[in-house]
Amino acid sequence: MMSLTEALTMCKVLVVELPAGIEGFVTEVRAGRYVVCLNSQLPAEERDRVLRHELAHVRLGHFDQDNMSIQEIEQEADIWAAMGN
């Protein structure tokens, strides 16, 4: 698995206004390059948590997963984000 620093070098992080209930998301814009969007209406501490969660998707290779449910993918990202790795 790649390091947090490696994941960050592959991502552009934007803090933007998102609809209520959307904390953030990550999308692959081309092979190996990602954009992470964080909700600007969240407190800084929450945005940090969401950033860790979204980076976990990149680090764990969730864009190439077809053998896990969305629930399993989100749970795995939550666990990694909580660990602060």
Q: pLDDT tens digits for 9-28? A: 999 999 999 999 999 999 99
Q: What's the rounded Cα separation, in Å, for the pair 27 and 23?
A: 14
Output the domain CATH number for residue 19: 1.10.10.2910
* Residue-wise pLDDT tens digits, 49-84: 999 999 999 999 998 878 899 999 999 999 998 986
pTM for this one?
Answer: 0.90
Give residue 15's domain range.
4-83
- Domain count across the chain: 1
pLDDT band at 85 (very low <50, low <70, confident <90, very high): low
pLDDT on residue 17 = 98
Residues of 23-36 as b/e, b for ≥16 C-beta within 10 angstroms? bbebebeeeeebeb
pLDDT band at 35 (very low <50, low <70, confident <90, very high): very high
